[in-house]
Amino acid sequence: MMFSDLNAIWFVLVGVLFGGYAMLDGFDLGVGALMPFVKKDHDRRILYNSIGPVWDGNEVWLVTGGGALFAAFPEVYATVFSGFYLAFIGLLFMLIFRAVAIEFRSKEPWGWWRRMWDWSFTVGSVGASFLIGVAMGNIVRGVPLDARHEYAGGFFDLLNPYSLMMGVTTVALFMMHGSIYLHMKTEGDLQQQVRGWISPLIILFIVCYSVFNLATLLYVPHITDVLRDQPLLFAVVVFLVLAIANIPREIHHGRDARAFLSSCATMLLLMSLFGMGMFPNMVYSLPNPENSLTAYNASSSQKTLRIMLIIAAIGVPIVLAYTVAIYTIFRGKVKLGKDSY
């Protein structure tokens, strides 16, 4: 069913782009959230430089995901971005603070300067993670849409407990992912310190995620219905549990890279669970489900979807090839040098 039509393919591809964003920029944002727990300037620079060469490439996944959403599902793009106006402007501010903090921070040696940008980095990273989570929470839970598919709620309707919980869960998830990434990129005392964070963060994430899922089962019946109809989803859940459980095991055996890959798998499985729970809905309308935006009523013309598929078929393999090459060139522990941040 999933691969028989262009709309479904683009539903998956947009999901892949945003999933790629969560998997890659997720650890950058997590590193930002963890920055206050590292005190020495040298160690902080290690943290910055662990993401230094890759963070802006990672942010491109969000830019491209947004572009693909615009191209393939303009109705979703228009409704969500205008409906969540203040939240998205806030997200932009957070991403700006995060970006310039990395760029500016180590350019001057003064203590106040570095502390200021460290805070900008942390606030930007946590804020962006949180707002991304809140937006996704609202999309899962459903938002009021009118008959023309325009958002019919206000800004404060977005701040419901369910979506706020999703925001907190996302911060916890990115922190967990960030700590596992850092464990791979650090050595010595700093690595020991990072290692101490991993288990508590995994537990924190599992607690948040369990509460969130309980809330989903109790308060979001349209997702519960999907779960009941598609037993296959439980297989994904099993893989998810295995992937998370594998992380401490790999850390214990000193296989940092495999722990990180396991964490990446966790991110992708979470994203596919999200997508499978939603399909074909892209924005669920509550209280009038008939106004929901779906992969079928919100898409561009078949011709555009086909052209875009050709563009993706040419572009994505090239992107993946050099992304892997670049991660390979910058693999291993971070060493500070003259080009470092």
Partner 1 sequence: MNIEILSRVQFAFTAAFHYLFPPLTIGLGVILVMIEGMWLKTGDRKYHNMARFWTKVFALIFGLGVATGIVLEFEFGTNWATYSRFVGDIFGSALAAEGIFAFFLESGFLAILLFGWDKVGPKLHFFATCMVAFGAHFSAVWIIVANSWQQTPAGSHLEVDGEVVGAGFKMLPEHLGSARMVIDEFWEVVFNPSTVERLSHTLMGAWLAGAFLVVSVSSYYLLKKRHHEFSRLSLRFGLALAIVASLCSLVTGHGSAKVVAEYQPSKLAAMEGHWESGPNAPLHLAGWVDEENGRTVGPSLPGGLSWLIAGTADHRVTGLSEIAEEDRPPVQATFQFFHLMVALGMGMIGYSLWGGWLWWRKRLSKLEHAETRWFLKLGVVAVLMPQLANQAGWFTAEIGRQPWIVWGYLRTSDGLSAVVKAEQVLASIIGFGLIYLLLFVMFVFLLNRKIQHGPEPMGGAIKEGR
Residues numbered 28-87 forming contacts with partner 1, rule: CB under 8 A: 52-54, 56-57, 59-60, 62-64, 66-75, 77-83, 85-86
CA-based nearest residue to 24, from 276, 326, 282:
326
**111 vs 231, beta carbon nearer partner 1:** 111
Measured from the Cβ of residue 43, the count of other Cβ atoms closer than 10 Å reads 17
Stretch binding partner 1 (CB under 8 A), from 101-109, 170-178, 201-209, 288-296: 101-109
| Shortest distance, position 146 Cβ to partner 1, whole Å | 9
| Shortest distance, position 142 Cβ to partner 1, whole Å | 17
Local structure of 238: helix, strand or coil: helix
Is residue 25 within the footprint of partner 1 (CB under 8 A)? Answer: no
* Preceding peptide of 287 cis, ω within 30°: yes
| Shortest distance, position 244 Cβ to partner 1, whole Å | 29
**Which element (helix H / strand E) includes 281?**
strand 281-283
Is residue 340 within the footprint of partner 1 (CB under 8 A)? Answer: yes
Stretch binding partner 1 (CB under 8 A), from 29-37, 89-97, 162-170, 277-285: 89-97
In sequence order, the 6+-apart residues with CB closer than 8 A to the CB of 8 are 1, 2, 279, 280, 295
What is the four-CA torsion angle of 19, 23, 27, 28, rounded to 10 degrees? -60
| Shortest distance, position 223 Cβ to partner 1, whole Å | 25
**59 vs 256, beta carbon nearer partner 1:** 59
Q: How many helices (H) and strands (E) does the chain have?
A: 12, 2
- Asked if 12 and 283 touch (Cβ cutoff 8 Å), the reply is no
What is the four-CA torsion angle of 69, 72, 78, 79, rounded to 10 degrees? -90
- Region 281-300 residues binding partner 1, contact defined as CB under 8 A: 300
- Region 121-160 residues binding partner 1, contact defined as CB under 8 A: 148, 150-152, 155
- The contact mask relative to partner 1 for 187-226 (x = CB under 8 A, - = no) is ----------------------------------------
Give the one residue of 107, 115, 249, 253 binding partner 1; rule: CB under 8 A: 107
| Shortest distance, position 77 Cβ to partner 1, whole Å | 5
| Shortest distance, position 335 Cβ to partner 1, whole Å | 10
Distances (CA, A) of 41 to 46, 82, 175, 189, 312: 9, 41, 20, 14, 42
Distance of CA 265 to the CA centre of its chain: 13
